[in-house]
Amino acid sequence: MASVQRSRPSVRAMGVVMAAVIAAVAGLAGCSSTGGKRAEEARDQAASGKANVTTPRWKVAMVTHSGDGDTYWDIVQSGAKQAAAKDNIEFLYSHDKEAGRQAQLVQAAIDKKVDGLIVTLAKPSAMKNVVKKAVKAGIPVVTINSGQDESRDFGALTHIGQDEVMAGEAVGRELNDKGRKKAICLLHEQGNVGHEERCEGIKKTFDGKVEDLYVDGTNMPGVQSSVEAKLQSDKKVDTVVTLGAPFAATAAEAKKDAGSDAEVDTFDLNAKVAAGLKDGSIGFAVDQQPYLQGYESVDLLWLHRFNADMLGGGKPVLTGPQILTKKDAGKLETFTKRGTR
Amino acid sequence: MTVTKEPAKPEGPEGPGEPGLPPEKTDERLVQRSLPARLMRRPELGAVVGAIALFVFFSLVADSFLRASSLSTVLYFSSTIGIMAVPVALLMIGGEFDLSTGVMVTSSALVSSMFSYQMTANIWVGVAVSLLVTLAIGFFNGFMLTRTKLPSFIITLGTFLMLTGLNLGVTKLISGTVSTKSISDMEGFSSAREVFASTLTLGSVDIQITVVWWLVLIALATWILLRTRAGNWIFAVGGGVDAARAVGVPVARTKIGLYMGVAFAAWISGQHLLFNYDVVQSGEGVGNELIYIAAAVIGGCLLTGGYGSAIGAAVGAFIFGMSNKGIVYAQWNPDWFKFFLGAMLLLATLLNAWIRKRAEATR
Amino acid sequence: MTNETEANESGPDAKGPNAKGPVETGPDETGPTATGPTATEPGDGEPRDGEPKDSEPLVSLSDVSKFYGNIRALEEVSLQVHPGEITCVLGDNGAGKSTLIKIISGLHQHDAGSFRIQGEETRLGSPREALDRGIATVYQDLAVVPLMPVWRNFFLGSEPSVGRGPLKRLDVQQMRRTTHRELLRMGIDLRDVDQPIGTLSGGERQSVAIARAIHFGAKVLVLDEPTAALGVKQSGVVLKYVAAARDAGLGVVLITHNPHHAYLVGDRFVLLKRGAMAASYEKEGLELEELVRQMAGGSELEELSHELER
- The per-residue DSSP string of B254-302 comes to HHHHHHHHHHHHHHHHHHHHHHHHSS-BTTTTTTHHHHHHHHHHHTT--
Work out the minimum CA distance from A301 to partner chain B, whole angstroms: 25
- Counting the structural domains of chain C, the total is 1
Residue A146 belongs to a domain with what CATH number?
Answer: 3.40.50.2300
Helices (H) and strands (E) in chain C, counts: 12, 12
In tens, the pLDDT along B177-200 reads: 778 888 888 889 999 999 999 888
Work out the number of other CB atoms within 10 angstroms of the CB of residue B116. Answer: 33
Residue A94 within a domain: yes
Rounded Cα distance, C40 and B64, in Å: 66
Residue C304 within a domain: no
Question: Which of B25, B32, B247 is best to mutate for the C interface (most C CBs within 10 A)?
Answer: B247
Phi, psi torsion values for B205, nearest 5 degrees: -105, 135
Chain C residues with CB under 8 Å of A9 CB are 5
CB pairs under 8 A between A and C: 8
- Which of these, C207, C212, C200, C245, lies nearest to C227 by C-alpha position? C207
Residue C67 belongs to a domain with what CATH number?
Answer: 3.40.50.300
Rounded Cα distance, C88 and C222, in Å: 10
Angle, in degrees to the nearest 10, between helices B209-227 and B68-93: 30
Rounded Cα distance, A265 and A188, in Å: 15
In tens, the pLDDT along B101-121 reads: 999 999 999 999 999 998 888
Phi, psi torsion values for A242, nearest 5 degrees: -95, 150
Phi, psi torsion values for A237, nearest 5 degrees: -65, 120
pLDDT at res. C38: 38
- Nearest chain C residue (CA) to B254: C4
Based on the domain organization, do A117 and A98 belong to the same domain? Answer: yes
Based on the domain organization, do A144 and A196 belong to the same domain? Answer: no
User: Higher model confidence: residue A197 or residue A13?
Assistant: A197
pLDDT at res. B161: 94
pLDDT of C301 strictly over 80: no
Phi, psi torsion values for A300, nearest 5 degrees: -65, -40
Mapped onto helix, strand or coil, the DSSP state of residue A254 is helix
Rounded Cα distance, A126 and A131, in Å: 10
pLDDT at res. A48: 56
Work out the minimum CA distance from B344 to partner chain A, whole angstroms: 19
- Counting the structural domains of chain A, the total is 2
In tens, the pLDDT along C217-266 reads: 788 888 888 877 777 877 888 888 888 888 888 889 988 888 888 888 88
CA-CA-CA-CA torsion sign (B146, B148, B151, B154): negative
Rounded Cα distance, B212 and A176, in Å: 43
What strand order describes the sheet that includes A182-187? A209-214, A182-187, A239-242, A263-267, A285-287, A322-324
Work out the minimum CA distance from A118 to partner chain B, whole angstroms: 21
Range B46-356: architecture per CATH? Orthogonal Bundle (1.10)
Q: What is the pTM of this model?
A: 0.77
Rounded Cα distance, A237 and A173, in Å: 17
Residue A301 within a domain: yes
Rounded Cα distance, B268 and B272, in Å: 6
Rounded Cα distance, A70 and B246, in Å: 51
Mapped onto helix, strand or coil, the DSSP state of residue A162 is coil
Residue A8 within a domain: no
Rounded Cα distance, A219 and A226, in Å: 11
In tens, the pLDDT along A258-271 reads: 888 999 999 988 88
Tell me which chains share at least 3 CB pairs under 8 Å with chain A.
Answer: B, C
Work out the number of other CB atoms within 10 angstroms of the CB of residue C280. Answer: 14
List the single residue in A30, A219, A275 with the smallest CB-CB distance to B124. Answer: A30
Based on the domain organization, do A267 and A294 belong to the same domain? Answer: no
Q: What is the mean pLDDT of residues B203-219?
A: 91
Mapped onto helix, strand or coil, the DSSP state of residue A264 is strand
pLDDT category of residue B12 using cuts at 50, 70 and 90: very low
- Whole-complex ipTM: 0.77
CA dist B182 → A77, A304, B174 (Å): 21, 40, 14
- How does DSSP classify residue B109? H
The three-state DSSP-derived secondary structure of A10-24 is HHHHHHHHHHHHHHH
pLDDT category of residue A175 using cuts at 50, 70 and 90: very high
Locate all alpha helices (DSSP H) within A218-317, ordered by sequence: 220-233, 245-258, 271-279, 290-307
pLDDT at res. B199: 87
- Which of these, B294, B330, B329, lies nearest to B315 by C-alpha position? B294
If phi over 0 gives left and psi between -120 and 50 gives alpha, with beta otherwise, what is residue C96? left
* Chain A 23-52, residues with CB within 8 Å of chain B CB atoms: 25, 28-40
Supply the range of the domain harboring residue A152: 58-162+289-310
pLDDT category of residue C143 using cuts at 50, 70 and 90: low
Cβ proximity of A316 and A161 under 8 Å:
yes
**Percent of residues, chain A, with pLDDT higher than 70:** 86
Work out the minimum CA distance from A105 to partner chain B, whole angstroms: 19
Based on the domain organization, do A156 and A294 belong to the same domain? Answer: yes
Based on the domain organization, do A175 and A224 belong to the same domain? Answer: yes
